Each structure stands twice: as C-alpha cells, then as structure tokens.
C-alpha cells in the first residue's frame, strides 16, 4: 500500500469517536492533516502514513473536544463573590450591582482569558457564551485558541455596554460582520430571559435569527419564580409566550429548562428545540431538577453547560457530565437513564448540534476539525479500566486531561497551556479581586 502523509499521528489506548455505534476503538491511531481528522485506523495500519509528528499515549483515551453549551465566561472574575443565595437575590442585590460598577471591555477580556485557561485544562474546546462586550470575548477566545459561540446579548435595561435593545442588536450584528470569517468565531443571538426582554425585542430577535440563520440562546424556565412572574405579567407561562412570538424553532437553545410540564416537553420536542442542561448551577441556586431523562425520551437534543463561575463555581465540563448522568438517574428513579455514552454525547456532539456546528466538531470523524482531547486513564481513579467510556464519565477528573488540540493545533500539552501566560492571567484576576472587593 502506498504511503500517505499527515501532520500528526496520535497513538492512543482508546479512541472514543462518539458515533451512533457507540464504539470504543482500542489500540488505534488518529491522523491529523491540515487541521482536520484524516483517519482513524488500527495501530498497524497507521504505519502506512508518513507523519511529521508522532505522539504515543498508550494509557489515554482520545475524545472529541467538550462543548460547553452555556456559560458567562467573564464571570470567572465574580467567582465566589456572592455565594449561597437564591437566584433573584443573588442577581438583583449582588451580581447586577457589581456588574454595573465594574464590567468593561477589560473586565470581559481578562475574565474570559481566565475562563479559557480553566476550560482548556478541563478539555473544553468550544464554549457558548452570553455576556456583554462580545468583542472582548472573541478576542480573548482567539488568543486562547478555543472556539467560541459569542452570544450577542440583548436585554431591555441599559448597561455599560448598550443603552437600549436596538443598541445591543446593532453592536452584536456589527461584531458578527467583523468576525464572521474567523475560524474560531461563531455566533448566537442571546436575549437574556423572558423577564428581561419585551415582546417587541423578542420579535426582532426572531427576525434576525431567521435572516442570519444563527441560534437563539436564552434562559428559560429556570425557576418557579420566573414562571409565576410570566403568568402574572403576560397571562401565560413563559414557554407559551415564546411560542406565540415565534421563538420555538430548531434554532432555540433553552438554557436550564428546569420547570417543564409534560406538555412543554412535548412542545420543545415537536419544534426541534435544544436544551442546555446546567446541573451544578441548578443545584447551587436551588433552582430545581431538570427532567432530562424525559426530555431525551421525547427526542429533545440536550447538551451540557457549566453556567458562569459565579453560580457554579467551576467551568469543569467533565464534572458537569458526570453530575448530569447521576442526577438523570436519581430524578427519573431509573439507574439505566442517561448511560455513560449518552452523557459523553451530551457533552460533545449534542452541544455541537445545538450550535449548528455538528458538521465540523463534536465527534471524531474523518473530515471534521481536529478538536481532540486526551484523557489519561492510567490513573488511580480510573484503574482498572473495563470500559473507557464508563471511566471517563463516572471516574475521570479534569486533572487527567493531558493534551488538547483545537483544529489540529496543540493548545494544551502535558497539562500546560501553550497559548496564554498563566502567571499573567492569574495576576490580572488578583487585580480585579482587589478592585471589586475594594481593598
């Protein structure tokens, strides 16, 4: 057989493609060329390739890069600032006042760099963001070498970022035009929540989303209080209001979706909507238990998000994946609910599908971008290894992530970030802590 060329050959103990057959490929090699996956072959067949670089990881599992389907990256700078409070008190009395005083392009850039550093170390290669100063979010993501779906945020209230809904939309759409051709930049329209965005604004969001063919990313049915407010203000539950306004489409990513009745689950399923499940945030803010097993059974695509570090307090998607699987079993009273491979799919391909990126990322398939994560399973917490997927979901920790490639570029090697100056990133976090704390 004639030899073919590759830029990088990775020999691994296991490769988990996250495909419909739920395969675990033992003693295989992954070949990368021009930033894309060129082949997945048994070890002996890899010798037919001439590779510029070879990496031997016999105790590791290769998985697709994790997709954090919902976060507020810059809020790493508010990590631990106001803990142990209910959602609305947390927002209205602590987070929103702090943001009004401190949020700026510099705040967002520094906070997103800190978030990017943390996420790379946890195996995240793409994150779906919702925050102000999205230009600074993209700049920080590109510097970090991580993919971003930048949320073009819209609220009715004035902030340091924009004065009114039209201002938010104009800034967001101009930003999209500026960055549309960058390989790491993607976009969502991000109306914050039903209780912060008017009907008129939501109608504009629907129009722009259809024209530009981009997702809509919105907090929906996070708490009982949100639903009570919706009924008192609009006469219907928030999801019914959103349906009347035309938001329920395959473009919608419903964040949290904790408080859903059976009719609402069917409604999301029939309209092809997606859900971003944020289990740690839901627990920490006592928002409730999302009916994930029911959503999956109904055919709703469910991905996993961390939410912001101010309400989690980590951006560890491996941990969220494990928690999603365990909570799914407990809430449904079914130990077979959300098995390991499905949990891994939720943290990878399902998130990519929600963002409309599943033709490019989310699984290890020939032709897709080489967003690849190596997890060292030769570790006390993951031995003996009978099933690598089970070990990844139920046992592995983020400290076992050794290598990360985004588009074939090594951004984490032996646990060390290759794109950011870690000391500088942490130093700026300390400066912000003193500024926000006032001392």
Other beta carbons within 10 angstroms of residue 181's beta carbon come to 7
The residue among 354, 370, 392 that closes a domain is: 354
Measured from the Cβ of residue 430, the count of other Cβ atoms closer than 10 Å reads: 9
**Measured CA angle at 114 (ends 112, 117), to 5 deg:** 105
Would you say residue 434 lies in a domain? no
Domain end among 329, 354, 379? 354
Whether residue 136 sits in one domain with residue 46: no
**Is position 222 within any domain?**
yes
In a domain, 429, yes or no: no
Q: Are 49 and 83 part of one and the same domain? A: no
Whether residue 177 sits in one domain with residue 158: yes
Verdict on whether the full-model pTM lies above 0.95: yes
Q: Whole domain around residue 198: which residue ranges?
A: 66-354
Give, for all 439 residues of the chain, the pLDDT tens digit.
Answer: 567 999 999 999 999 999 999 999 999 999 999 999 999 999 999 999 999 999 999 999 999 999 999 999 999 999 999 999 988 899 899 999 999 999 999 999 999 999 999 999 999 999 999 999 999 999 999 999 999 999 999 999 999 999 999 999 999 999 999 999 999 999 999 999 999 999 999 999 999 999 999 999 999 999 999 999 999 999 999 999 999 999 999 999 999 999 999 999 999 999 999 999 999 999 999 999 999 999 999 999 999 999 999 999 999 999 999 999 999 999 999 999 999 999 999 999 999 999 999 999 999 999 999 999 999 999 999 999 999 999 999 999 999 999 999 999 999 999 999 999 999 999 999 999 999 987 4
pLDDT for 2: 63
Residues in the chain: 439
Q: Quick one: 199 and 318 in the same domain?
A: yes
Residues 341 and 388 in one domain: no
Residues 58 and 185 in one domain: no
What pLDDT shows up at residue 101?
Answer: 93
The reply to whether 417 falls in a domain is: no
CATH number of the structural domain spanning residue 395: 2.30.40.10
| 3-state DSSP of the chain | CCCEEEEEEEEEEEECCCCCCCCCEEEEEEEEECCEEEEEEECCHHHHEEEEEEEEEEEEEEEECEEEEEECHHHHHHCCCCCCCCHHHHHHHHHHHHHHHHCCHHHHHHHHHHHHHHHHHCCEEEEEECECCHHHHHHHHHHHCCEEEEEEEECCCCCCCCCCHHHHHHHHHHHHHHHCCCCCEEEEEEECCCCCCCHHHHHHHHHHHHHHCCCEEEEECCCHHHHHHHHHHHCCCHHHHHHHCCCCCCCEEEEECCCCCHHHHHHHHHCCCEEEECHHHHHHCCCCCCCHHHHHHCCCEEEECCCCHHHCCCCCHHHHHHHHHHHHHHHHCCCCCCCHHHHHHHCCHHHHHHCCCCCCCCCCCCCCECCEEEEECCCHHHCCCCCHHHHHHHCCCHHHEEEEEECCEEEEECCEECCCCHHHHHHHHHHHHHHHHCC
CATH number at residue 95: 3.20.20.140
Q: Is residue 437 part of a domain?
A: no
Residue 425 lies in a domain: no
User: Do both 82 and 142 map to the same domain?
Assistant: yes
- 16 and 101 share one domain: no
Do 305 and 368 fall into the same domain? no
Per the structure, how many domains does the chain have? 2
* One domain, residues 295 and 200: yes
Residue 208, domain member (yes or no): yes
Cα atoms found within 13 Å of the Cα of residue 389, Cβ hemisphere only: 21
Query: Are residues 298 and 150 part of one domain?
Result: yes
Cβ neighbours of residue 239 closer than 8 Å, sequence gap 6 or more: 220, 221, 248, 260, 264, 267, 268
Regarding whether 49 and 101 lie in a shared domain, the answer is no
Domain membership of residue 151 (yes or no) is: yes
As given in the structure block, the two tokens for residue 213 are 């063919």
């Amino acid at each position: 057989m004639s030899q073919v060329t590759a830029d990088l050959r990775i020999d691994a103990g296991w490769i988990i493609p996250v495909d419909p057959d739920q395969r675990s490929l033992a003693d295989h090699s992954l070949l990368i060329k021009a930033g894309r996956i060129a082949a997945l072959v048994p070890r002996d067949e890899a010798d037919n390739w001439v590779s510029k670089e070879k990496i031997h990881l016999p105790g590791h599992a290769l998985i697709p890069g994790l997709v954090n389907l919902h976060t507020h990256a810059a809020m790493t700078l508010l990590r631990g600032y106001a803990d142990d409070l209910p959602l609305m008190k947390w927002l209205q009395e602590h987070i929103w006042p702090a943001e009004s005083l401190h949020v700026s392009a510099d705040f967002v850039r520094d906070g997103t760099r800190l978030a990017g550093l943390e996420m790379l170390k946890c195996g995240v290669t793409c994150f779906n963001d919702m925050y102000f100063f999205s230009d600074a979010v993209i700049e920080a993501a590109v510097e970090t070498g991580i993919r971003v779906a930048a949320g073009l945020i819209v609220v009715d209230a004035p902030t340091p970022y924009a004065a009114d809904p039209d201002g938010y939309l104009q800034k967001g759409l101009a930003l999209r035009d500026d960055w549309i051709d960058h390989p790491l930049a993607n976009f969502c329209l991000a109306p914050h929540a039903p209780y912060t965005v008017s009907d008129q604004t939501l109608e504009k969001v629907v129009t722009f989303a259809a024209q530009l063919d981009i997702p809509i990313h919105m907090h929906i049915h996070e708490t009982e209080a949100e639903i009570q407010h919706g009924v008192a203000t609009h006469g219907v539950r928030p999801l019914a209001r959103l349906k009347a306004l035309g938001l329920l489409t395959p473009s919608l990513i419903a964040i949290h979706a904790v408080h859903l009745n059976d009719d609402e689950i069917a409604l999301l399923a029939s309209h092809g909507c997606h859900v971003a499940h944020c289990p740690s945030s839901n627990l920490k803010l006592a928002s409730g238990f999302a009916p994930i097993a029911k959503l999956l059974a109904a055919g709703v695509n469910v991905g996993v998000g961390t939410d912001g570090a101010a309400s989690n307090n980590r951006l560890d998607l491996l941990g969220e994946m494990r928690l999603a699987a365990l909570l799914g079993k407990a809430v449904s009273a079914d130990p077979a609910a959300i098995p390991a491979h499905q949990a891994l799919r939720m943290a990878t391909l399902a998130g990519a599908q929600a963002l409309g990126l599943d033709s490019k990322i989310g699984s290890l398939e020939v032709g897709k971008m080489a967003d690849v994560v190596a997890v060292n399973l030769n570790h006390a917490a993951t031995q003996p290894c009978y099933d690598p997927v089970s070990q990844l979901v139920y046992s592995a920790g983020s400290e076992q992530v050794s290598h990360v490639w985004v588009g074939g570029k090594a951004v984490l090697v032996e646990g060390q970030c290759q794109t950011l100056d870690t000391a500088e990133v942490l130093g700026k976090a300390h400066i912000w802590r003193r500024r926000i704390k006032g001392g």
